[in-house]
Amino acid sequence: MLLNSFKLFKNNSEIRSIPFELGLNIITNREGIGHSGNSVGKSTLSRVVDFLFLGSIDPVYIDDEFKQPNIDIQKLFEENDIIAQLNFTGADFGVHRMERRLAIDSDDDAFYFDGNKLSQSKYEDQIKKFCFGITTDRFSVRYAITKFIRNTNERMLNTTQFLDKRVPTEGKEYSELYLYLFGFQDSEKLGEKRLATNLVNRRAKNLRVINALIKEQKNKTQLKELAKLIKKIEDEILSFNFSSEQKDPISELSQLQRQEDDITKEVLSIERKIKNINETVKNLSSSLGGYLTTELEEIYAYANITITSAIKDLKEVSQFHAKLVQSKKKFLTQDVPELTLKHSELKGALEEVYTVRRSVFEKMKDSKNIEVITRKIKELGELKVKFGQAEGLIQQQQQATDDKKKAVDALAIILKSIKDQLDTVENFINKFNEFFAVYTEKLHNEAYTLEFDYDEQKGSCKLSLSNESSHPEGGKKKAEVIAFDFAYISAVHSQQLTRPLFVFHDMVEDIDKRQLKDILVLSKSLSGQQILSVLSDNLTPEMRNDCENNIILELDENDRFFKV
C-alpha cells in the first residue's frame, strides 16, 4: 500500500490537498512567520490518517495531557460537514479512496470507501482487504496501523513494542501481528490460532472452577461414603422379612426404585442446566451499568470492537454494553421453555411411580412392615439423590478435562501448521537484517540485528535487538526506530509483500542534527514513503535547501491545518 494524496473537505468544498511522493515527505512550518512553529498542525495529518484507520477523533482536537479541546476545531466539527479523504494504491495495485466524517458525536459518524457509504464493519473489511491484504475476521486494524503511524513519544521510543501499554508484550496480539508483518501468508491460519487459543483458555478456566468446587466439597470422598450407605440399605431391603401371607413386593419395589432413580437423574440434570442459565442471566443483569469506559475498552479490545471510535461517553458505553448483554441473555434463555416443559413431564412420570409404589404398600398387611420398608426406601431415595448430585459434578469434571484436551490437541495441530509455514517469515527476517544493518551502521556506526524467536509450544513470538553498545535513549532511540521502519519498508519491497510501504514519524526534535541529516538522505532513496513532521528550526539551511522539493505541507499561524 502506497499513499497518493490526502484531501480535506468542508461542506463539500476542498479546503486542503496534500500529495504524497515516493521517498521523503516533509511536513513543517514556514520559516520566519509567527512566533512559533508549534500549534500550527504539523502532527494533525498523521492523527487524521489514524482516524481514517478507525482511530478515535479525540487526538485530532483534544489536548492529550490536560484533556482540553481546541475550541476552534471543535466548533468547526460541530457546525460543518468535514470529510477527510485518503487516496492510495492498495494491496491489489488498484487505486482506492477511503473517507470518514470528522464528527464528534458518534451518531454523525460516516464511512465511505471508493465512494460508497458503508457501515463501520464493512468499512473495516475494505481496509483489511485493500490496505493490508487480509480477509480474516480476527485481524485488528487498530493494532496493525500502530506500526505505520508513529506519532506519539511512546511509539517513537519503542522499536518493537509499539502497541498500547495494556497489551502484553508476549501475548497473542503481538505474536499474530509480528507473523503478519514479517510475511506469514496464511492469514486464515492466524485467525484459527486465535480462536483455538481462546477456546483453550476458556476450557482451562472452566476446569479450574470445577476442580475448585470438587476440592471444596470433597465429592470423591463423599461418593465412596454414600455408595457404602446405599449398598447397606439396599441389602437390608432385599433381605426384609414379610409375613408368610404377603407376596414378596421387593422385586416390584426395586423396579420402581430403578425407574425413580433414572427419572430423578434426568430431573437433576435439567435443574442444573436451568440453574446455571438463571445464575448466568442474573450475573449479566447485575453487571449492567457497572463498568467504567476504560474497563469496557479493555473488555472489548480483544474482540476487535473499537469502543473509542463507536461511542464517546459513559452513557453510550453503558447502553452499548447493555445491548450486548441483552443479546447474550436472549441467547442463553432460548432453551429454557423446552427444558421447563421436559422438567414438568418428568415430574409427572415421577408422580406416577410414587402412585404405583403407594398401591404396593397398601397391599402389605403388616403396618409395621409398611413403616420399616417405607422409611428405608425413603432413606435410600434421599441418598441416591445426594449421590447423583455428587456424581454429576465428577462427570462434569471429566467432561471438562476431555474438552480441554480436545482444545489443546486442536491448537497443537494449528501451531504445527504455522511452524511448517514459517519459511517466508525466516526469509523476510534475513532480508530485513540486511537492510537493518546498513541503516543502523549509517545512523549509529554499528550494525544491528533483529532476533526472532518462535515458541512452537505456545505459538508465541519474541523480538529482540542484538547490538554491542548500550541501548540508546531519547533522540538516538528514535533514530533506531526510524532505521527499523526503513529496513521494514525496504524488506517488504524486496520480498514483494502486500504490506503498507509508508510510515509517519513525529516527535523528532531531540534527534541530533547530524543524524537527522542522514535520515533525510536515506529517506529520499527509500522504496516506500516516510512522512516526517519536523520543526523548521531543526532543519539547517543546507538540509532545507536539499529537501525543498520534498516538502509536501508548510503551515503557519495564519494557515493552520484546518484553516481555523
79, pLDDT greater than 70: yes
Q: Which carries the bigger pLDDT value, residue 45 or residue 191?
A: 45
How does residue 86 score in pLDDT terms, banded at 50, 70 and 90? Answer: very high
Question: 491-520 burial by CB neighbour count: b if 16+ within 10 A, else e?
Answer: bbbeeebbbbbbbbbbbbeebeeebbbbbb
- Region 294-319: mean pLDDT is 55
Measured distance CA(340)–CA(347) in Å, rounded = 11
Over residues 94-145, the pLDDT tens digits come to 999 999 999 999 889 999 999 999 999 999 999 999 999 988 777 889 989 9
Over residues 527-552, the pLDDT tens digits come to 999 999 999 999 999 999 999 999 99
491, pLDDT greater than 90: yes
Over residues 175-219, the pLDDT tens digits come to 888 989 998 877 677 667 778 888 888 888 888 877 776 675 555
Q: What is the DSSP letter of 160?
A: S
The cell numbers describing 470, all together, are: 548500550
- Region 272-293: mean pLDDT is 68
Q: What is the pLDDT of residue 186?
A: 76
Over residues 430-480, the pLDDT tens digits come to 999 999 999 999 999 999 999 998 887 777 888 899 887 767 789 999 999
| Ramachandran assignment for 106, one of left (phi > 0), alpha (psi -120 to 50 degrees), beta (any other) | alpha
Parallel/antiparallel/unpaired status of strands 449-455 and 529-533: unpaired
291, pLDDT greater than 60: no
Please tell me the total number of residues recorded for the chain in this structure. 564
| Least confident piece of the model among 4-8, 55-59, 317-321 | 317-321
Q: What is the pLDDT of residue 551?
A: 97
Cell 398401591 locates to: 359
Cell 510510515 locates to: 503
Over residues 218-237, the pLDDT tens digits come to 556 666 676 777 777 666 66
Cell 470528522 locates to: 102
Q: Give the phi and the psi of residue 109 in degrees, each rounded to 5.
A: -65, 145
- Region 504-520: mean pLDDT is 95
Average pLDDT, the chain: 83
